[in-house]
Amino acid sequence: MIEFKLPSLGADMDQGKLVEWKVKPGDAVKRGQVVAVVDTSKAAVEVEIWQDGTLFEQLVPIGEKVPVGTVLATLLAPGETREQAEQQKRAARPALKPAAAVPAPPPPVAAPMTGAIAQRRPVSPAARKHARELGVDVDTVAGTGPHGAVTVEDVEKAAAAPAPPDRYVEMRKAIAAAMSRSKREIPHYYLSETIPMQRAAEWLARENEKRPVTERILMGALQIKAVALALARVPELNGFWRNGAFEPATGVHIGVAISIRQGGLIPPAIHDVDKKGLPELMRALSDLVARTRAGSLRSSEMSDPTITVTNLGETGVESVFGVIYPPQVALVGFGRMETRPWSEDGKLFTAPLVTASLSGDHRASNGIRGARFLAELRERLQHPEEL
Amino acid sequence: MRHLSYREAMREALREALAANPRVFLMGEDIGKYGGTYAVTKGLLEEFGPERIRDTPLSELGFVGAGIGAALGGMRPIVEVMTVNFSLLSLDQIVNSAAAFRHMSGGQFSVPLVVRIATGAGRQVAAQHSHSLENWYAHVPGLTVLAPATVEDARGMLAGALADPDPVIIFEHVQLYNAEGDLPEPWTTDIHSAAVRRAGRDVSLITYGGSLPKALAAAERLSGEGIEAEVVDLRVLRPLDAPTILASVRKCRRAVVIDEGWRTGSLAAEIVAQIAEQALYDLDAPPVRVCSEEVPIPYAKHMEDAALPQTEKIVAAAKGLIGSEVPA
């Protein structure tokens, strides 16, 4: 029997609320399949499963908030039968002791269990169903029914009202926790490099002329791809700092910082950026932005980034020195692209320039390696056709 | 359109049945010379004679049994039992014989018997004449149980009962006999469906028989407070018209079931169970019951009133389901 546990969908996540089961007992599941939707304090995330099998039992009801690591469901391994699973389940339970003359004390689990039931908020069955249909989180809805129960009308009012502020507060708290941890634990060093973008801009303009408007590639995609390729030379920037040691990542999954309404910020990952062609990367980027803002991310996208890229160029700042998202060890920032004086080969002329920056974790890498990375990044952006 | 009393409507229905079919005859205590305890059969003895309007000894076991025999022999007897309390003496005949014959004979025999039974409290006749035991009969497969609560149903349901090849019990609440109402011409009645007597949207008041006027009064009061109650008249207690009940509950999302029977094991309990089984996810509040207090119905007027479902209790129960805020 395989246990499917609630994964951590980000370093700042310690619990999640089960919003939806995408599969039911008896369904066959495949590695990588989305099986549930879990609400972290940041977003509703589609959670994938990483083993093949057949769903046996769902152990957590919809609407329940559980800590990371909680077994959400059990699966039958390929070839395993229900009977075997039942047997294993029985074996897992403490064996019944022979009847004793003295009555046994009540099991210690009894108290917390009744406690949980007593604390349940009254939500009418119709309201619960309607809330699910409207995508309203009933925990955020004030009840006006008997005994303060949440009614259908309460849900409708909540759905009509702008998104409740506490969601924003929750996300702010999550960001605060992650960023505080970062600045508390990570000894940042910062480097920056001005990168001429003339070749990249001209090449991109030519490329985009050949493409329909909907398939045009943005400079942001080029920058992300260049970061991915540059990392191959400086792998100590791509990975995690865990338990006092650097763990290099097995792929290049770049977290793209995406701002969402009301000041939220989510850095979901684009997987294997180094292996994606530009058109594919652009599609992935557009899709990711749309799904992030719609709140339908997948668990692997939330938990997988091996490095983060932030681009504040649109807002018009020259450069950005970011705070590393733990347990990652580096963050690459791009400022706005601007035409300014530039000299090359003894000539002075104007050219579009962008300031790229690197925030590095000094535990995992040294400044000289960071400098090597930025130099590599600059080089890559001079050869856009190779990206 | 004619205006008449429930009693007159019932008498018209009996007279029509007697005139239309020579095999129809009436049997019961004091229905002939005395004209019936509630004067429903007044004048019928003079009109149809003692062969067809038969006074019986005080033996429900005997005369209901005789009715079953007559029905098996091809007659169409209409047996009157003075109160549902007394009908317990004939329960053996009804449950063990009338309701079971078709099944036990493999469909060879049916018992086309109609039993009219007065039921309910409110007339200060104390605990041996005042109870509402309709649900005892509504429990039994093989019976159809009717509860006409309006003049139209009093006039129309008997014909349907007589047309039924199996036993039909008609419960007439004693407080309804003097009730007056308009009888549309032609009237249309069936013996299958429940009826929405007042349309609403905020709470379903589900009831039958003598509690219907109280529920309608409660709906009127609630309307004055901005709560639009829908009133469902069951009309048929067995088999229950679940689709009509559930449609109303699904619309209003809240339900009060009003039943003059005692709460424990009541018909109201059955209706609440069906709502819970089939419409739980449409509910905005737990369904509630307004039933009789769990005492033998008292004799003293104020005690009797306190023991029964009343308009005020229905209003309070409905408001309790709406909660702290009146719906917009």
List alpha helices for chain B, DSSP H: 6-20, 44-48, 60-72, 84-87, 91-92, 101-104, 134-138, 151-163, 212-224, 242-252, 267-279, 301-307, 311-322
d(CA B319, nearest CA chain A) in Å:
9
Which of A71-85, A209-223, B75-89 has the least mean pLDDT?
A71-85
CB within 8 Å: A151 and B285: yes
Name the minimum distance, in Å, from the CA of A157 to any CA of chain B.
11
Nearest CA in chain B to A150: B284
Q: Report the pLDDT averaged over residues B169-188.
A: 94
Average pLDDT score over residue span A152-173? 76
B324, A145: Cβ pair inside 8 Å?
A: yes
Within 8 A of B282 by CB-CB distance, chain A residues are 125-126, 129
pLDDT grade for A349, boundaries at 50, 70 and 90: very high
Provide the pLDDT for residue A94: 46
Least confident of A40-44, B45-49, B242-246, B252-256: A40-44
pLDDT at B327 > cutoff 60: no
Token output for A366: 């040294």
Least confident of A177-181, B162-166, B273-277: A177-181
Test the A interface: residue of B202, B250, B253, B254 with most A CBs within 10 Å = B253
Look at B284 and A126 and tell me if their CB atoms are within 8 Å: yes
* Model confidence pLDDT, tens digit, residues B73-95: 999 999 999 999 999 999 999 99
What's the pLDDT at A138? Answer: 86
Q: Contacts of residue A133 in chain B, CB cutoff 8 Å?
A: none
Tell me the nearest-neighbour CA distance from B249 into chain A, angstroms: 11
State mean pLDDT over A310-316: 82
- Residue among B281, B322, B324 whose CB faces A126 most closely: B281
Residue A147 pLDDT:
81
Taking an 8 Å cut-off on Cβ atoms, the answer to whether B323 and A149 are in contact is: yes
**Is residue A112 very low, low, confident or very high in pLDDT (cuts 50, 70, 90)?**
very low
* pLDDT at res. A34: 86
Residues B16-33 pLDDT 10s: 999 999 999 999 999 999
Beta strands in B88-223 (DSSP E): 114-119, 144-146, 168-173, 180-183, 195-198, 203-207
Positive or negative, the CA dihedral B158, B160, B165, B166 is: negative
> Which chain B residues are within 8 Å of A147, Cβ to Cβ?
323
Minimal C-alpha gap between A295 and chain B (Å): 26
Cβ contact B285–A152 (<8 Å): no
Residues of chain B with CATH 3.40.50.920: 195-321
A62 to chain B: which residues are within 8 Å by CB? Answer: none
In DSSP notation, A172-219 reads HHHHHHHHHHHHHH--EEEEEEEEE-HHHHHHHHHHHHTS-GGGPPPH
- Three-state secondary structure call for residue A93: coil
Q: CATH 3.40.50.970 region(s) of chain B? A: 2-183
Nearest residue in chain A measured CA to CA from B317: A146
In the 8-state DSSP scheme, what is residue A299? H
pLDDT surpassing 70 at residue A107: no
Distance from the B254 Cα atom to the nearest Cα atom in chain A, whole angstroms: 10
* Position with higher pLDDT, A95 vs B91: B91
Distances (CA, A) of B11 to A375, B17, B42, B45, B172: 106, 10, 8, 12, 12
Considering only CB atoms, A124 lies closest to which of B285, B324, B328, namely B285
Q: Point out the residues of B that are catalytic.
A: 60, 129
Any B CB within 8 A of A149 CB: yes
Question: Hey, is the C-beta of A127 within 8 angstroms of any chain B C-beta?
Answer: yes
B276 to chain A: closest CA residue = A125
Calculate what percentage of chain B has a pLDDT beyond 90. Answer: 96
Contact B284 A127 (CB under 8 A): yes
Average model confidence (pLDDT) for chain B? 96
Say if CB B214 and CB B175 are below 8 A apart.
Answer: no
Instruction: For residue A128, give the chain B residue with the closest CA.
Output: B281
Nearest to B324 among A125, A129, A144 (CB): A144
Which residues of A fall within a CB distance of 8 Å from B283? 124-126
Whether chain B has a CB inside 8 Å of the CB on A249: the answer is: no
Given CB atoms, is A144 within the 8 Å cutoff of chain B? yes
Tell me the shortest Cα–Cα distance from B255 to chain A, in angstroms: 13
Q: How confident is the model at residue A182 (pLDDT cuts 50, 70, 90)?
A: very high
Contact B152, B181 (CB under 8 A): yes
Q: A134: distance to nearest CA of chain B, Å?
A: 15
Pick the CATH number of B195-321 from 3.60.21.10, 3.40.50.1110, 3.40.50.920, 3.30.1490.150: 3.40.50.920
pLDDT band, residue A171 (cuts 50/70/90): confident
With cut-offs at 50, 70 and 90, classify the pLDDT of residue A164.
low
Three-state DSSP class for A352? strand
Q: Is residue B328 scored above 50 in pLDDT?
A: no
Cα atoms found within 13 Å of the Cα of residue A96, Cβ hemisphere only: 3
Strand partners, B168: B114, B144
Q: Specify the pLDDT at position A301.
A: 75
A118 pLDDT higher than 60: no
| Nearest residue to B315 (alpha-carbon basis) of B234, B226, B228, B219 | B219
The Cα–Cα gap between A136 and A131 comes to: 5
Averaged over A177-197, what is the pLDDT?
A: 93
8 A C-beta contact, residue B28 and residue B80: yes
Distance CA A101, CA A104 (A): 9
The answer on pLDDT for B163 being more than 50 is yes
> What is the DSSP track for A238-275?
SEEEETTEEEE-SS--EEE-EEEGGGEEE-PEETTGGG
Compute the count of residue pairs across chains A and B with CB atoms less than 8 Å apart: 49
Of residues A66 and B60, which shows the higher confidence score? B60
pLDDT for residue A58: 85
pLDDT of residue A70: 86
A123 CB within 8 Å of a chain B CB: no
Least confident among A76-80, B61-65, B278-282, B324-328:
B324-328
Nearest to A152 among B253, B286, B322 (CB): B253
Domain annotation for chain A: domains and CATH numbers: 2-92 (2.40.50.100), 143-185 (no CATH), 187-386 (3.30.559.10)
| B328:A153 CB<8 A | yes
Contacts of residue A145 in chain B, CB cutoff 8 Å?
284-285, 321-324
| pTM over the 0.80 mark | no
Tell me whether residues B327 and A153 touch, CB distance under 8 A: yes
- Report helix, strand or coil for B27: strand
Chain B residue nearest residue A153, CA to CA: B327
B207 bridge partner residues:
B233
* Model pLDDT, residue A81: 81
Interface of B with A (CB under 8 A): 253, 280-286, 320-325, 327-328
User: Quick one: fold of B2-183?
Assistant: Rossmann fold (3.40.50)
